[in-house]
Copies of this chain bind each other. A is one copy, B any other.
Amino acid sequence: MALKFNYYIPTKIVFGKGSLDKLAKLKLPGKKALIVTGGTSTTKLGYVDRVVNLLKEKEIESVVYNKILPNPNNVQVDEGADIIKSEGCDFIIGIGGGSSIDSAKAMSMVAANEGKCWDFISGAARMKNKPMPVVAITTTAGTGTEADQYFVITNEELNQKIGWGGEKFFPTLSIVDPDLMMTVPPKYTAYQGFDALYHSIEGYIARVANPMSDMYALKAIELIGKYLPTAVKNGADEEARAAVAMANTLSGMVEATSSTTSEHAMEHSLSAFHPELTHGAGLIMISCAYHKHFAPHIADRYVDMARALGYRDTTDPMDFVKALEQLIVDCDVADLKMSDFGIQKSDIEELADNALATGGLMFKVDRVQLTKEDVMKIYEESYK
Protein backbone atom coordinates (compact mmCIF):
# COMPACT_ATOMS: atom_id res chain seq x y z
CA MET A 1 0.00 0.00 0.00
CA ALA A 2 1.20 3.52 -0.74
CA LEU A 3 2.46 5.22 2.40
CA LYS A 4 -0.13 7.98 2.58
CA PHE A 5 -2.33 9.08 5.43
CA ASN A 6 -3.93 12.01 7.15
CA TYR A 7 -3.66 11.94 10.91
CA TYR A 8 -5.81 14.15 13.12
CA ILE A 9 -6.86 13.04 16.60
CA PRO A 10 -6.73 16.19 18.77
CA THR A 11 -8.46 14.59 21.78
CA LYS A 12 -6.50 14.41 25.01
CA ILE A 13 -6.91 10.82 26.19
CA VAL A 14 -6.21 10.01 29.83
CA PHE A 15 -6.16 6.23 29.97
CA GLY A 16 -5.80 3.84 32.89
CA LYS A 17 -7.01 2.52 36.20
CA GLY A 18 -8.03 5.41 38.44
CA SER A 19 -7.96 8.06 35.74
CA LEU A 20 -11.45 9.38 36.58
CA ASP A 21 -10.03 11.02 39.69
CA LYS A 22 -7.60 12.95 37.50
CA LEU A 23 -10.60 14.99 36.33
CA ALA A 24 -9.99 17.19 39.37
CA LYS A 25 -6.50 18.08 38.12
CA LEU A 26 -7.21 18.44 34.40
CA LYS A 27 -8.03 21.66 32.62
CA LEU A 28 -11.70 21.55 31.60
CA PRO A 29 -13.21 23.51 28.71
CA GLY A 30 -15.87 25.48 30.61
CA LYS A 31 -17.45 26.64 33.85
CA LYS A 32 -20.85 24.91 33.68
CA ALA A 33 -21.42 21.41 32.30
CA LEU A 34 -24.43 19.45 31.17
CA ILE A 35 -23.72 15.88 32.24
CA VAL A 36 -25.33 13.53 29.72
CA THR A 37 -25.95 9.92 30.67
CA GLY A 38 -28.41 7.02 30.73
CA GLY A 39 -30.65 6.77 33.73
CA THR A 40 -29.38 3.54 35.16
CA SER A 41 -25.92 2.09 35.87
CA THR A 42 -23.83 5.28 35.83
CA THR A 43 -26.16 6.68 38.50
CA LYS A 44 -26.54 3.48 40.55
CA LEU A 45 -22.79 2.91 40.56
CA GLY A 46 -22.24 6.47 41.78
CA TYR A 47 -20.20 7.57 38.77
CA VAL A 48 -22.41 10.57 38.08
CA ASP A 49 -22.12 11.75 41.68
CA ARG A 50 -18.35 11.31 41.55
CA VAL A 51 -18.18 13.50 38.44
CA VAL A 52 -20.46 16.13 39.99
CA ASN A 53 -18.25 16.24 43.09
CA LEU A 54 -14.99 16.32 41.14
CA LEU A 55 -16.42 19.29 39.21
CA LYS A 56 -17.39 21.01 42.47
CA GLU A 57 -13.75 20.76 43.61
CA LYS A 58 -12.94 22.83 40.52
CA GLU A 59 -15.86 25.19 41.15
CA ILE A 60 -17.53 24.00 37.97
CA GLU A 61 -21.34 23.84 38.08
CA SER A 62 -23.23 20.99 36.49
CA VAL A 63 -26.72 19.89 35.49
CA VAL A 64 -27.54 16.21 34.91
CA TYR A 65 -29.58 14.93 31.95
CA ASN A 66 -30.05 11.18 32.36
CA LYS A 67 -32.64 10.09 29.79
CA ILE A 68 -30.35 8.66 27.11
CA LEU A 69 -31.52 5.35 25.61
CA PRO A 70 -29.30 2.47 24.38
CA ASN A 71 -29.93 3.58 20.78
CA PRO A 72 -29.80 7.34 21.32
CA ASN A 73 -32.32 9.31 19.34
CA ASN A 74 -32.85 12.83 18.12
CA VAL A 75 -35.66 13.54 20.60
CA GLN A 76 -33.36 13.30 23.65
CA VAL A 77 -30.64 15.20 21.79
CA ASP A 78 -33.00 18.12 21.20
CA GLU A 79 -34.23 17.97 24.79
CA GLY A 80 -30.66 18.07 26.12
CA ALA A 81 -29.72 20.92 23.79
CA ASP A 82 -32.68 22.95 25.11
CA ILE A 83 -31.46 22.41 28.68
CA ILE A 84 -27.94 23.51 27.71
CA LYS A 85 -29.37 26.74 26.33
CA SER A 86 -31.79 27.41 29.20
CA GLU A 87 -29.21 26.55 31.89
CA GLY A 88 -26.38 28.42 30.16
CA CYS A 89 -24.00 25.46 30.12
CA ASP A 90 -20.76 26.04 28.18
CA PHE A 91 -19.56 22.45 27.82
CA ILE A 92 -20.93 18.91 27.86
CA ILE A 93 -19.77 15.79 29.65
CA GLY A 94 -20.96 12.49 28.24
CA ILE A 95 -20.57 9.69 30.75
CA GLY A 96 -21.53 6.11 29.95
CA GLY A 97 -21.33 4.02 26.82
CA GLY A 98 -21.37 5.19 23.24
CA SER A 99 -25.00 6.24 23.50
CA SER A 100 -24.32 8.90 26.15
CA ILE A 101 -21.15 10.19 24.51
CA ASP A 102 -22.66 10.20 21.02
CA SER A 103 -25.67 12.09 22.39
CA ALA A 104 -23.30 14.61 24.00
CA LYS A 105 -21.58 15.10 20.65
CA ALA A 106 -24.92 15.61 18.88
CA MET A 107 -26.07 18.05 21.58
CA SER A 108 -22.81 19.99 21.16
CA MET A 109 -23.90 20.71 17.59
CA VAL A 110 -27.53 21.49 18.27
CA ALA A 111 -26.89 23.63 21.36
CA ALA A 112 -24.41 25.84 19.49
CA ASN A 113 -26.63 26.36 16.45
CA GLU A 114 -30.20 27.12 15.36
CA GLY A 115 -32.19 24.03 14.43
CA LYS A 116 -33.19 20.57 15.59
CA CYS A 117 -30.86 17.55 15.58
CA TRP A 118 -32.43 15.89 12.55
CA ASP A 119 -32.40 19.13 10.56
CA PHE A 120 -28.59 18.96 10.56
CA ILE A 121 -28.37 15.21 9.93
CA SER A 122 -30.91 15.37 7.10
CA GLY A 123 -29.15 18.37 5.61
CA ALA A 124 -32.13 20.70 6.08
CA ALA A 125 -30.01 22.92 8.38
CA ARG A 126 -26.30 23.79 8.27
CA MET A 127 -23.94 24.13 11.21
CA LYS A 128 -22.88 27.80 11.38
CA ASN A 129 -21.07 27.73 14.75
CA LYS A 130 -18.59 25.17 15.93
CA PRO A 131 -19.92 22.63 18.41
CA MET A 132 -19.51 23.08 22.15
CA PRO A 133 -16.57 21.28 23.82
CA VAL A 134 -17.33 17.71 24.87
CA VAL A 135 -15.64 15.67 27.61
CA ALA A 136 -16.11 11.90 27.22
CA ILE A 137 -15.99 9.52 30.18
CA THR A 138 -16.36 5.93 29.01
CA THR A 139 -17.89 3.24 31.23
CA THR A 140 -17.94 0.57 28.52
CA ALA A 141 -15.41 -0.70 25.99
CA GLY A 142 -17.47 -0.55 22.86
CA THR A 143 -17.84 2.25 20.40
CA GLY A 144 -14.47 4.01 20.57
CA THR A 145 -16.36 7.29 20.25
CA GLU A 146 -14.04 8.78 22.92
CA ALA A 147 -11.31 8.82 20.28
CA ASP A 148 -13.21 9.63 17.10
CA GLN A 149 -15.18 12.42 15.43
CA TYR A 150 -18.44 10.55 14.83
CA PHE A 151 -21.75 9.92 16.51
CA VAL A 152 -24.68 7.68 15.63
CA ILE A 153 -28.25 8.89 16.17
CA THR A 154 -31.52 7.08 15.54
CA ASN A 155 -34.70 8.66 14.30
CA GLU A 156 -37.41 6.24 15.36
CA GLU A 157 -40.16 7.93 13.34
CA LEU A 158 -38.16 7.43 10.15
CA ASN A 159 -36.56 4.11 11.22
CA GLN A 160 -33.21 5.62 10.37
CA LYS A 161 -29.97 5.14 12.31
CA ILE A 162 -27.32 7.43 10.89
CA GLY A 163 -23.65 8.03 11.62
CA TRP A 164 -22.67 11.69 11.49
CA GLY A 165 -19.79 13.91 12.56
CA GLY A 166 -16.65 15.63 11.40
CA GLU A 167 -13.33 17.04 12.60
CA LYS A 168 -14.97 19.42 15.05
CA PHE A 169 -16.60 16.54 16.94
CA PHE A 170 -13.54 14.98 18.55
CA PRO A 171 -13.97 15.18 22.31
CA THR A 172 -11.71 17.80 23.89
CA LEU A 173 -10.84 15.35 26.66
CA SER A 174 -11.56 11.65 27.12
CA ILE A 175 -11.17 9.74 30.35
CA VAL A 176 -10.87 5.98 29.90
CA ASP A 177 -10.82 4.35 33.33
CA PRO A 178 -11.15 0.55 33.26
CA ASP A 179 -12.27 0.66 36.91
CA LEU A 180 -15.59 2.04 35.62
CA MET A 181 -16.03 -1.05 33.41
CA MET A 182 -15.55 -3.79 36.00
CA THR A 183 -19.26 -4.38 36.55
CA VAL A 184 -20.42 -4.51 32.91
CA PRO A 185 -22.33 -7.84 32.65
CA PRO A 186 -20.74 -10.62 30.56
CA LYS A 187 -23.24 -10.34 27.71
CA TYR A 188 -22.69 -6.61 27.24
CA THR A 189 -18.93 -6.94 27.71
CA ALA A 190 -19.06 -9.26 24.71
CA TYR A 191 -21.40 -7.09 22.61
CA GLN A 192 -19.28 -4.01 23.22
CA GLY A 193 -15.97 -5.79 22.74
CA PHE A 194 -17.14 -7.16 19.40
CA ASP A 195 -18.31 -3.71 18.34
CA ALA A 196 -14.76 -2.47 18.95
CA LEU A 197 -13.38 -5.50 17.11
CA TYR A 198 -15.55 -4.81 14.05
CA HIS A 199 -14.44 -1.17 13.99
CA SER A 200 -10.86 -2.36 13.66
CA ILE A 201 -11.65 -5.17 11.22
CA GLU A 202 -13.66 -2.84 8.99
CA GLY A 203 -11.05 -0.10 9.26
CA TYR A 204 -8.46 -2.65 8.15
CA ILE A 205 -10.37 -3.88 5.09
CA ALA A 206 -11.75 -0.47 4.04
CA ARG A 207 -10.49 1.14 0.85
CA VAL A 208 -9.30 4.10 2.91
CA ALA A 209 -7.13 2.01 5.25
CA ASN A 210 -3.58 3.35 5.58
CA PRO A 211 -0.38 2.44 7.44
CA MET A 212 -1.38 4.48 10.50
CA SER A 213 -4.89 3.01 10.82
CA ASP A 214 -3.45 -0.45 10.10
CA MET A 215 -1.11 -0.16 13.08
CA TYR A 216 -3.97 0.69 15.43
CA ALA A 217 -6.27 -1.93 13.92
CA LEU A 218 -3.96 -4.95 14.11
CA LYS A 219 -3.01 -4.09 17.70
CA ALA A 220 -6.68 -3.76 18.69
CA ILE A 221 -7.63 -7.03 16.95
CA GLU A 222 -4.77 -8.82 18.71
CA LEU A 223 -5.76 -7.43 22.14
CA ILE A 224 -9.44 -8.35 21.73
CA GLY A 225 -8.66 -11.84 20.49
CA LYS A 226 -6.38 -12.37 23.46
CA TYR A 227 -8.37 -10.72 26.27
CA LEU A 228 -12.07 -10.44 25.43
CA PRO A 229 -13.01 -14.03 26.42
CA THR A 230 -11.41 -13.45 29.84
CA ALA A 231 -13.13 -10.08 30.28
CA VAL A 232 -16.45 -11.79 29.47
CA LYS A 233 -15.96 -14.85 31.70
CA ASN A 234 -14.25 -13.03 34.59
CA GLY A 235 -15.26 -9.38 34.68
CA ALA A 236 -13.09 -8.85 37.75
CA ASP A 237 -9.91 -9.48 35.76
CA GLU A 238 -8.32 -6.01 35.73
CA GLU A 239 -5.71 -6.86 33.10
CA ALA A 240 -8.34 -8.15 30.67
CA ARG A 241 -10.64 -5.17 31.28
CA ALA A 242 -7.79 -2.71 30.70
CA ALA A 243 -6.60 -4.52 27.56
CA VAL A 244 -10.11 -4.53 26.07
CA ALA A 245 -10.54 -0.87 27.01
CA MET A 246 -7.30 -0.03 25.22
CA ALA A 247 -8.37 -2.08 22.20
CA ASN A 248 -11.58 -0.06 22.14
CA THR A 249 -9.77 3.28 22.26
CA LEU A 250 -7.45 2.06 19.49
CA SER A 251 -10.52 1.05 17.50
CA GLY A 252 -11.79 4.61 17.86
CA MET A 253 -8.46 5.80 16.45
CA VAL A 254 -8.98 3.38 13.57
CA GLU A 255 -12.33 5.03 12.89
CA ALA A 256 -10.67 8.43 13.11
CA THR A 257 -8.05 7.48 10.50
CA SER A 258 -9.92 4.93 8.34
CA SER A 259 -13.63 4.03 8.18
CA THR A 260 -16.27 1.48 9.01
CA THR A 261 -17.64 -0.47 6.05
CA SER A 262 -21.03 -1.74 4.90
CA GLU A 263 -21.08 -4.22 7.80
CA HIS A 264 -21.96 -1.30 10.05
CA ALA A 265 -24.57 0.00 7.62
CA MET A 266 -26.17 -3.43 7.57
CA GLU A 267 -26.33 -3.53 11.37
CA HIS A 268 -27.66 0.02 11.64
CA SER A 269 -30.55 -1.12 9.48
CA LEU A 270 -31.30 -3.97 11.91
CA SER A 271 -31.29 -1.78 15.02
CA ALA A 272 -33.08 1.08 13.27
CA PHE A 273 -36.10 -1.22 12.92
CA HIS A 274 -35.45 -2.92 16.27
CA PRO A 275 -34.09 -0.30 18.71
CA GLU A 276 -34.04 -2.94 21.48
CA LEU A 277 -31.34 -4.79 19.53
CA THR A 278 -27.90 -3.85 20.87
CA HIS A 279 -25.58 -2.66 18.10
CA GLY A 280 -22.82 -5.14 19.02
CA ALA A 281 -25.27 -8.05 19.06
CA GLY A 282 -26.53 -7.07 15.61
CA LEU A 283 -22.97 -6.99 14.30
CA ILE A 284 -22.16 -10.40 15.78
CA MET A 285 -25.20 -11.91 14.05
CA ILE A 286 -24.18 -10.78 10.56
CA SER A 287 -20.38 -10.73 10.81
CA CYS A 288 -19.46 -14.31 9.88
CA ALA A 289 -21.51 -14.34 6.67
CA TYR A 290 -20.28 -10.81 5.90
CA HIS A 291 -16.59 -11.66 6.23
CA LYS A 292 -16.99 -15.01 4.46
CA HIS A 293 -18.14 -12.89 1.52
CA PHE A 294 -15.17 -10.49 1.60
CA ALA A 295 -12.27 -12.72 2.72
CA PRO A 296 -11.56 -14.33 -0.68
CA HIS A 297 -11.54 -10.90 -2.38
CA ILE A 298 -9.05 -9.24 0.03
CA ALA A 299 -6.99 -12.30 0.94
CA ASP A 300 -3.82 -10.54 2.14
CA ARG A 301 -5.68 -8.34 4.61
CA TYR A 302 -7.68 -11.24 6.03
CA VAL A 303 -4.49 -13.27 6.41
CA ASP A 304 -2.97 -10.42 8.46
CA MET A 305 -6.06 -10.37 10.69
CA ALA A 306 -6.10 -14.17 11.06
CA ARG A 307 -2.50 -13.94 12.25
CA ALA A 308 -3.43 -11.18 14.73
CA LEU A 309 -6.10 -13.56 16.06
CA GLY A 310 -3.56 -16.30 16.69
CA TYR A 311 -3.17 -18.17 13.39
CA ARG A 312 0.49 -17.05 13.50
CA ASP A 313 1.73 -18.57 10.26
CA THR A 314 -1.44 -18.96 8.22
CA THR A 315 -1.73 -18.00 4.56
CA ASP A 316 -5.45 -18.86 4.34
CA PRO A 317 -7.80 -15.86 4.56
CA MET A 318 -10.65 -18.13 5.64
CA ASP A 319 -8.77 -18.84 8.86
CA PHE A 320 -9.89 -15.36 9.89
CA VAL A 321 -13.53 -16.45 9.67
CA LYS A 322 -12.68 -19.59 11.68
CA ALA A 323 -10.99 -17.45 14.35
CA LEU A 324 -13.96 -15.07 14.43
CA GLU A 325 -16.46 -17.94 14.79
CA GLN A 326 -14.35 -19.39 17.62
CA LEU A 327 -14.09 -16.01 19.38
CA ILE A 328 -17.90 -15.68 19.22
CA VAL A 329 -18.18 -19.12 20.87
CA ASP A 330 -15.49 -18.29 23.46
CA CYS A 331 -17.39 -15.13 24.41
CA ASP A 332 -20.67 -17.05 24.86
CA VAL A 333 -22.61 -15.11 22.22
CA ALA A 334 -22.96 -17.81 19.56
CA ASP A 335 -26.64 -18.28 20.34
CA LEU A 336 -27.78 -14.86 19.10
CA LYS A 337 -30.76 -15.18 16.72
CA MET A 338 -32.41 -12.48 14.61
CA SER A 339 -35.73 -14.23 15.20
CA ASP A 340 -35.35 -13.65 18.95
CA PHE A 341 -35.47 -9.92 18.22
CA GLY A 342 -38.62 -10.20 16.14
CA ILE A 343 -36.82 -9.94 12.80
CA GLN A 344 -38.69 -11.88 10.10
CA LYS A 345 -37.06 -13.46 7.06
CA SER A 346 -39.61 -11.51 5.07
CA ASP A 347 -38.09 -8.23 6.41
CA ILE A 348 -34.78 -8.86 4.67
CA GLU A 349 -35.47 -6.95 1.48
CA GLU A 350 -36.63 -3.91 3.44
CA LEU A 351 -33.55 -4.19 5.69
CA ALA A 352 -31.31 -4.27 2.63
CA ASP A 353 -33.04 -1.28 1.04
CA ASN A 354 -32.69 0.69 4.28
CA ALA A 355 -29.00 -0.22 4.73
CA LEU A 356 -28.21 0.84 1.15
CA ALA A 357 -30.28 4.01 1.44
CA THR A 358 -28.98 5.29 4.79
CA GLY A 359 -25.47 3.75 4.83
CA GLY A 360 -24.39 4.69 1.33
CA LEU A 361 -21.02 6.10 2.32
CA MET A 362 -20.05 2.95 4.18
CA PHE A 363 -20.74 0.86 1.07
CA LYS A 364 -18.52 3.21 -0.93
CA VAL A 365 -15.43 2.41 1.18
CA ASP A 366 -15.79 -1.34 0.60
CA ARG A 367 -13.00 -2.69 -1.61
CA VAL A 368 -15.58 -4.90 -3.32
CA GLN A 369 -18.96 -3.33 -4.06
CA LEU A 370 -22.01 -5.15 -2.68
CA THR A 371 -25.17 -5.37 -4.77
CA LYS A 372 -28.60 -5.40 -3.13
CA GLU A 373 -28.62 -9.15 -3.82
CA ASP A 374 -25.29 -9.58 -1.98
CA VAL A 375 -26.64 -7.65 0.99
CA MET A 376 -29.81 -9.77 1.08
CA LYS A 377 -27.71 -12.94 0.75
CA ILE A 378 -25.57 -11.95 3.77
CA TYR A 379 -28.71 -11.25 5.84
CA GLU A 380 -30.19 -14.58 4.72
CA GLU A 381 -27.07 -16.58 5.58
CA SER A 382 -27.03 -14.85 8.96
CA TYR A 383 -30.68 -15.53 9.69
CA LYS A 384 -31.49 -17.89 12.53
Chain A residues close to B by CB (< 8 Å): 2-17, 19, 178, 211-212, 215-216, 219, 239, 242-243, 245-246
Contact = CB atoms under 8 A, between A and B. Distances in A.
Contacts of A216: 215
Contact of A15 (B4, B215, B243): B4
A223 to B, nearest CB: 9
A13 B6 contact: yes
A211 B227 CA distance: 15
A255 to B, nearest CB: 15
21 contacts: A2-B17, A2-B242, A3-B16, A3-B17, A3-B178, A3-B239, A3-B246, A4-B16, A4-B19, A5-B15, A6-B12, A6-B15, A7-B12, A7-B13, A7-B15, A8-B13, A9-B9, A10-B10, A15-B212, A215-B215, A215-B219
B3 A243 contact: yes
Nearest to A14: B6
A12 B5 CA distance: 11
Contacts of A178: 3
A14 to B, nearest CB: 6
A246 B211 contact: yes
A135 to B, nearest CB: 14
A11 B11 CA distance: 10
The A contact surface, by secondary structure, is mixed
B3 A8 contact: no
Interface centre among A7, A12, A13, by most chain B C-beta atoms within 10 angstroms, is A7
Number of copies: 2
Contact of A16 (B5, B11, B16): B5
Contacts of A7: 9, 11-15
A19 B2 CA distance: 13
Nearest to A147: B7
A361 B3 CA distance: 35
Contacts of A8: 11-13
Contact of A242 (B3, B13, B243): B3
A239 B3 CA distance: 8
Contacts of A245: 3
A9 B10 CA distance: 6
Contacts of A16: 2-5
Nearest to A3: B242
Contacts of A242: 2-3
Given A2-B17, A8-B13, A9-B9, 9 more contacts: A3-B239, A4-B16, A4-B17, A4-B19, A5-B13, A7-B11, A7-B13, A7-B15, A8-B11
Contacts of A9: 7, 9-10
Sorted nearest first, the 4 A-B pairs with minimum C-beta distance are: A4-B16, A10-B10, A3-B242, A7-B13
Nearest to A7: B13
A118 B180 CA distance: 45
A25 to B, nearest CB: 12
A58 to B, nearest CB: 19
A379 B151 CA distance: 55
Nearest to A10: B10
Nearest to A253: B7
A212 to B, nearest CB: 8
Contacts of A11: 7-8
A11 B245 CA distance: 24
A241 to B, nearest CB: 9
